[in-house]
């Protein structure tokens, strides 16, 4: 990796290590409880069937992996991968507390070099992490590699709304109010100032769709949710 990519990876690791214990609560509060719907929608786009297998890259606290486990059913299996031990520790607690937890395996690893063989999973997801990786195209290429032919690669991520008035109100909340609420709720300042900064640096959802295509994913599309504040990208291997 370049020096910039290495520095970004180190910084992002520190951000999530600092907020791991409050991450789920703050996501629910700051999204006005819409995060649950967003995860359900993303999983629906995977086409994961009962008995299937899924990989959740940058799984964080494991909530998207558990949503995949519900879709996969008792005969399915889900692997959640993350490079932050603090987040994986919270994920282990969430998995242990869930009736679907027996279907989920947690693995420490890096999204840039997935420790799995080619064609290992029926689908792969990444939730609220694509804007944080050192190289978007490289991560998508890795996700494509480990998915079986015909399988889906799905990203759930913050997006850039375009509707007049709503757009201005959203950015006022996201850039001015959210960092203050995040600091109050999590007890640290930096991580929730990184959130709007990371979105500013992240490409528009139409550009991300083109990156999906360039990574070799077919029929790439995106769905804007909740006024376009998040987008679900889908591509097929």
Write down the domain spans for the chain: 3-158+204-236
Q: Which tens digit of pLDDT belongs to each residue from 4-14?
A: 667 778 877 87
pTM of the complete model: 0.89
- Mean pLDDT, to the nearest integer, of 88-115? 97
pLDDT at 28: 76
Helix H, strand E, coil C: the string for the chain is: CCHHHHHHHHHHHHHHHHHHHHHHHHHHHHCCCCHHHHHHHHHHHHCCCCCCEEEEECCCCCHHHHHHHHHHCCCCEEEEEECCHHHHHHHHHHHHHCCCHHHEEEEECCCCCCCCCCCCEEEEEEECCHHHCCCHHHHHHHHHHHEEEEEEEEEEEECCCCCCCHHHHHHHHHHHHHHHHHHHHHCCCHHHHHHHHHHHHCCCHHHHHHHHHHCCCEEEEEEEEHHHCEEEEEEEC
Q: What CATH number belongs to 3-158+204-236? A: 3.40.50.150
């Amino acid at each position: 990796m370049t020096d910039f990519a290495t520095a970004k990876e180190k910084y992002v690791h520190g951000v999530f290590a600092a907020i791991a214990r409050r991450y789920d609560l703050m996501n629910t509060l700051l999204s006005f409880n819409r995060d649950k719907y967003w995860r359900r929608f993303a999983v629906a786009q995977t086409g994961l069937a009962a008995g299937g297998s899924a990989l959740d890259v940058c799984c964080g606290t494991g909530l998207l992996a558990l949503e995949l486990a519900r879709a996969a059913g008792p005969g399915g299996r889900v692997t959640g991968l993350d490079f932050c031990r603090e987040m994986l520790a919270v994920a282990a607690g969430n998995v242990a507390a869930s009736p679907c937890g027996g279907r989920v395996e947690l693995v420490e690893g890096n999204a840039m070099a997935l420790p799995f063989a080619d064609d290992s999973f029926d689908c792969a997801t990444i939730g609220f992490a694509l804007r944080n990786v050192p190289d978007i195209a490289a991560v998508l290429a890795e996700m494509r590699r480990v998915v079986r032919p015909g399988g889906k690669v799905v990203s759930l991520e913050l997006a850039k709304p375009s509707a007049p008035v709503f757009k201005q109100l959203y950015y006022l909340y996201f850039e001015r109010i959210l960092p203050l609420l995040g600091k109050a709720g999590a007890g640290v300042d930096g991580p929730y100032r990184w959130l709007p900064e990371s979105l500013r640096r992240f490409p528009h959802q139409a550009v991300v769709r083109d990156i999906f295509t360039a990574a070799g994913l077919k029929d790439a599309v995106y769905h804007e949710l909740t006024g376009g504040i998040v987008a679900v990208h889908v591509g097929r291997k």
